[in-house]
Structure 1
Amino acid sequence: MFPQDEKAENQVPYDTQLSSVQQAVNQFREDNSVLPIKTTEQDTPIYQKYTIDFGQLIPRYMQQPPGSSFENGGAYQYVIVDPEEKAEVKVIDLSIMREIQELQRAINMYIGSNDYAPIKESVGPGLFEIDFDRLDYNGEKVVESPYHNDTSLPLLINERGDVRIDYSIDINIALQEFNNDFEQGDDIRDILTDNYPIAPAFSVPYTLDENEEPTFKEE
């Protein structure tokens, strides 16, 4: 589950922890016909939308949240992807969430003061580069990839003013590394959730272009 080039700190949610939560979620779903998830806003990005509510799992299905979980002092938030079908348990790196939330606050303040977003060039449908100079940042802000060492991911803003992470680099590496049968029009973020325990938080949909490389798809 953990490729060699994945960062060591992201191996904290060991297979056994993920497996134990998956078993608890599966049993809860079988018993209750619903998933043990928290209520979120309608416009919550898809990979953060189905956050596991450990309060519903404890004590009947688990004794306590896994040590790597936020609820137990860990660095990860446990979520469910593909809730209608597989309902697979994945995690989100909370350090990335904090960085994005910090930038989002700065952007919201800028929009509040200026009535327009700090954007530069359009890079895709409803997606723009962020003008960090307007935010008084010292250079462009990036986040470290949760998938690959020494890889920095650009940050973008959508037409609603929401910060998004550009996972094109990670997806491109994964497409070369793992077998897949994607076609143009498919949302190819599945290449990440199918092969890593980490969910691509704050991402946008991607598909394949005519050269079979990742390109932005309308959110």
Structure 2
Amino acid sequence: MKKLIQLNSLIISVLILSGCLFPQDQRGAQDVPYEDQRVAVENAVHEYREVTGVLPIETREQDTPEFRRYPVNFKELNPYLSQLPVNAFENGGVYQYVILNPEEEMDVRLLDIRTSRAIQEIQRSIYQYRSDNTYAPVKEIVHEGLMQPDYNALQYDEEITVQSPFYPDHRLPVYMETDGSLIVDYRIDIMKVIEEEGADDYEPGDDLRYLLTDHHPVVPDYSYPMTMNDDGEIIFKEN
């Protein structure tokens, strides 16, 4: 497929069974996305689907965002998984295991709940501001339907950002939709992936968020569809 244009450099329950699949010396390392654990859960999901014909997932509303719509139900995987991952939310970890492409590949990825916690904290500040005033704390429009919050009005000492679940040294901007909900801007993470891995299988117009899940075990929670324009810049798509 046609190569993407080079990016603008400025856009830079719970079961605990005996077994040795997840070594005990990893217990307590609950914030690391171990690849062997992810693969073990993915294999168990595939085996469960082959035997039962359905997916081992918890029920979510149909309008739930795609990256958290199909969380793995570990209770259903009891006969297929020797031990609960040490980093799973159900085991006190920071990751919720989710299924992507449920009708085809059934890829298992991890959702970092620390992103959700950070967003919820910012969301509370915005709701309180809107309650105290009759308008939202908007600094500027960044895209149709997306606004940068006025962090000074919200009494933040610096621009509102959250830590990237992909690159710990990246701080990602947070934007507000017209209904007051928040999204995270993953554009610098996407640029980093393209710099490191390329994007030969993607064309202009494709949703570039899947570059992240192609090359990382985690998903871009609270994200917004993104693509590339004719100038080689990553831009937000219509949601």
Question: Could you tell me which of 65, 68, 71 is aligned with 2:84?
Answer: 65
Task: Please report the TM-score for the alignment, with normalisation by the length of structure 2.
Answer: 0.81
Letter in 1 for 2:116: M
**Residue 38 to residue 115, structure 1, CA distance change in 2 (3 Å):** farther
Describe the SS at the equivalent of 1:108. helix
Question: Could you tell me which of 195, 208, 218 is aligned with 2:228?
Answer: 208
1:91-170 map, 5 Å: 91-170=110-189
Alpha-carbon deviation of 1:213?
Answer: 2.7
> Number of residues paired by the alignment?
210
Off by >4 Å, runs of 4+ in structure 1: none
Alpha-carbon deviation of 1:100?
Answer: 0.9
Pair 1:51 & 2:71 matched: yes
Matched residues in 1 for 2:61 and 2:206: separation? 25
The equivalent residue for 1:24 is 44
For residues 113-142 of structure 1, give each alpha carbon's deviation from its aligned partner in whole angstroms, at most 9, with x where no partner exists.
Answer: 435322221112311111122222222221
Matched residues in 2 for 1:33 and 1:78: separation? 20
Letter in 2 for 1:192: L
**Residue 203 to residue 10, structure 1, CA distance change in 2 (3 Å):** farther
Gaps of 5+ in 1: 1-8
Identity rate, percent: 44
Describe the SS at the equivalent of 2:203. coil
1:172-187 map, 5 Å: 172-180=191-199, 181-187=201-207
Describe the SS at the equivalent of 1:56. coil
Is the Cα contact below 8 Å between 1:81 and 1:87 reproduced in 2? Answer: yes
**Residue 40 to residue 104, structure 1, CA distance change in 2 (3 Å):** farther
Matched residues in 2 for 1:116 and 1:43: separation? 27
Alpha-carbon deviation of 1:31?
Answer: 2.2
Rg larger in 1 or in 2? 2
Alpha-carbon deviation of 1:148?
Answer: 1.8
Is the Cα contact below 8 Å between 2:31 and 2:94 reproduced in 1? Answer: no
The equivalent residue for 1:195 is 215
Gaps of 5+ in 2: 1-28
Question: Could you tell me which of 86, 92, 95 is aligned with 2:105?
Answer: 86
Matched residues in 1 for 2:192 and 2:71: separation? 27
